[in-house]
Amino acid sequence: MSFNLLKGKRGIIFGALDENSIAWKTAETVHAEGGTFVLTNAPIAMRMGKIDELAKKTGATIVPADATSEEDLDNLVAKSMEILGGKIDFVLHAIGMSVNVRKGRSYTDQKYDFTAKGWDVSALSFHKVLQSLYKADAMNEWGSIVALTYMAAQRTFPDYNDMADNKAYLESIARSFGYFFGKEKKVRVNTISQSPTPTTAGQGVKGFNSFINYAEKMSPLGNATAQDCAEYTVTLFSDYTKKVTMQNLFHDGGFSTTGVSQEVVDNFSE
């Protein structure tokens, strides 16, 4: 399935680690839709992941950047325009990491150095990316910037830990920066609130397997997969969504507005 929705558009895709990554599926789908892009990830992920394989498949160039480093980001933005031959039309921020989650610290027993690091990587990095693009005047008019988030920003999921607070901050940045990017550059900024998805980051959350099954049963359309998310992201990069900005868009098969489903109720029948 391909409609050439992104023909002639240039972008930057953050966060493709392996074939399960939402960013990986997005890169493949953007490529199928005619878009060209630079792939980027933290230098350490270059060694652990398989980004070279994705670059080869999609004809992309890789420019490493730690998304917490302003210097790396400024270099990434400048190099991307050089490599792609002009200003940028779309950007995907697909970055998340909690040191507290990794180290098994609960929400009520956080080590604040870990909290600060996770916030910098998962939330503030989005502001840094936006500011770097903004200051370099790197975005074309009617360009589109998307970051990925999760519903724990609005409702409590105890095992999501400090990532819930990071996602709330991330979503707020999309609104705040979206104002300036819209007014001054006619660029849209949105977050997609995605279903639980079996990726490296997703599976790091305690009890993930039970939770993804529960979400599947609670969602009238079933969980949205990484590929579904890639396709939704492509619509937001396309010219068919030009006036959608500063939104948090739920992409979750209806989970966020379902009170309870019959399958879940049946589990509690006497």
Ligand X SMILES: NC(=O)c1ccc[n+]([C@@H]2O[C@H](COP(=O)([O-])OP(=O)(O)OC[C@H]3O[C@@H](n4cnc5c(N)ncnc54)[C@H](O)[C@@H]3O)[C@@H](O)[C@H]2O)c1
- Alpha-helical segments (H) within the chain: 22-32, 43-48, 51-58, 70-84, 99-102, 112-119, 125-135, 163-185, 200-203, 208-218, 226-237, 262-266
Q: What whole-number distance in Å separates Cα of residue 82 and Cα of residue 77?
A: 9
For residue 258, the minimal CB distance to ligand X (Å) is: 17
Please calculate the CA angle 259-262-263 and round it to the nearest 5 degrees.
110
Closer to ligand X at the Cβ: 61 or 140? Answer: 61
Q: How far is the CB of 64 from ligand X (least distance, A)?
A: 9
Residues of this chain that bind ligand X (CB under 6 A):
14-15, 17, 21-23, 41-42, 45, 66-68, 94-97, 121, 148-150, 194, 196-197, 199-202
Residue 90 or 150 with smaller CB distance to ligand X: 150
Q: Any binding-site annotation on 79?
A: no
* Selected catalytic residue, list 160, 169, 179, 214: 160
Residue 172 is labelled as binding a ligand = no
State yes or no: 167 annotated in a binding site. Answer: yes
By C-beta, is 42 or 173 nearer to ligand X?
A: 42
Q: Which residue has the tokens 């507290």?
A: 100
Which is nearer to ligand X, 206 or 242 (by Cβ)? Answer: 206
160 is known as an active-site residue = yes
Residue for token pair 């160039």 = 61
- Catalytic residue, chosen from 107, 112, 134, 150, is 150
Ligand-binding annotation for 15, yes or no, is yes
The residue with its CB nearest to ligand X is 202
169 belongs to the catalytic site: no
Helix axes 125-135, 70-84, angle to 10 degrees: 50
Q: Are 207 and 221 in contact (CB under 8 A)?
A: no
Rounded to 5 degrees, φ, ψ at 74 are -60, -40
The first and second tokens of residue 173, run together, are 């940045």
Smallest separation, CB 86 to ligand X (Å): 24
Annotated binding site for NAD(+): 15, 21-22, 95, 167
Annotated binding site: 15, 21-22, 95, 167
Residues labelled catalytic = 150, 160
